[in-house]
Amino acid sequence: IIKFCPNLRNLTIRIEDNELEILETILISCKYLESIRIFGYKYYNKKGIIFNESISNGLADLISSLQNLRHLKVCLHKYGVDLTDINTLISKFPNSLITLRIYRGMECFFKAVIPLSFIARFTNLQELVFIFSSNESYEGFNKLQYVVFPQLRSLNIYVECPENELLKKFLENNGKNLKEFYVKTIVKFCPNLRNLSIRIEDNELEILETILISCKYLESIRIFGYKYYNKKGLTEIIMKYSSKIKLFL
pLDDT digits (tens, 9 = 90+) for 173-193: 998 888 888 765 555 567 788
Domain range list for the chain: 10-193, 201-248
pLDDT of 173: 92
pLDDT digits (tens, 9 = 90+) for 51-94: 444 445 555 555 555 556 677 777 665 544 455 556 666 666 76
Q: Is the pLDDT of residue 35 over 60?
A: no
pLDDT of 114: 65
State the pairing for strand pair 48-51/43-45: antiparallel
pLDDT of 2: 62
pLDDT digits (tens, 9 = 90+) for 111-164: 455 678 888 889 999 999 887 766 777 777 888 889 999 999 999 887 677 887
**Contact residues for 238 (Cβ-Cβ < 8 A; gap 6+):** 208, 212, 221, 245, 247
State the pairing for strand pair 10-14/35-39: parallel
CATH no. of 10-193: 3.80.10
Could you tell me where the DSSP H helices lie in the chain? 20-29, 57-63, 86-90, 141-144, 164-174, 205-214, 231-241
Q: Is the pLDDT of residue 13 over 90?
A: no
